[in-house]
Amino acid sequence: MKIVNLDDDEVFKRLLYPPENEHPAPNENDKKLIDSALLGGVERAKKAIKEGANLEVTIMSDWTPLILTGIHGNKEVAEILIGEGADIEAKDWAGWTPLMRAAEQENKETVKMLIQKGADVIYAFLKEDVGVKNVIKGVIDENPNLIDKEERFLLSVISEPEKIPFSEKQKVRRVLTKFSREKRINAEEAHRIFRNLMKRWNERIEIKEYKLRKPKQKSGRGEMKRLQN
């Protein structure tokens, strides 16, 4: 993999938005912080922060240093950034967070650390990227204590609605209401999820009722015996 040298001004400029963009141009300390986010280097990151680097500086695609650590799997630098107050829910041009970018690149240790630090897994699941959800789900399955039972149940409701039985209807309603009140999921999204489940449950009931109504066909052997008599 080719390493980008961010000390090269021409290379660095190509990573930035055009001049008319509203984001301020990075200074030298910002460059050093971005460099450490891309390539690793805890001490360099610490020094850049101490000297005033902007934790939320962005380069192309609205990537902050923390998002870059997710992409490149630089967990130690990510921990430094979070400890210094970097926004763990920073969103890039596509609305993706550091957790989602780390999962996209299958940087599982970084995914685990971000969840431990409080990254919003519900938001990540609602973006409906199968690859991202599978990586996050795999990390949670290996480390069940990363999130609480209600959060884990909601992730199942979102990602595997076909596995949720009708008997869990009240639990689904309660959990959706709880997370909606906590602003972890908006009311419109909660209603959409519940409507989707209701549709699936109704389809199951209709199929079950159809099977009960459908007359049983007599076997060929029984029919032959009846004719012989």
Domain ranges of the chain: 1-146, 148-214
Instruction: Give the single-character DSSP code of 167.
Output: G
Question: Which amino acid belongs to residue 152?
Answer: R
Domain formed by 1-146, architecture:
Alpha Horseshoe (1.25)
pTM: 0.78
The per-residue pLDDT for range 79-128, each reduced to its tens digit, is 999 999 999 999 999 999 999 999 999 999 999 999 999 999 999 999 87
In this predicted structure, the answer to whether residue 34 has a pLDDT above a threshold of 60 is yes
Distance CA 173, CA 68 (A): 37
- Place 24 in a pLDDT band, splitting at 50, 70 and 90: low
Model confidence at 41: pLDDT above 80: yes
Q: At 59, phi and psi to the nearest 5?
A: -115, -160
Tell me the two tokens of residue 5: 């040298």
CA dihedral 3, 55, 113, 46 (to 10 degrees): 70
| pLDDT at residue number 37 | 94
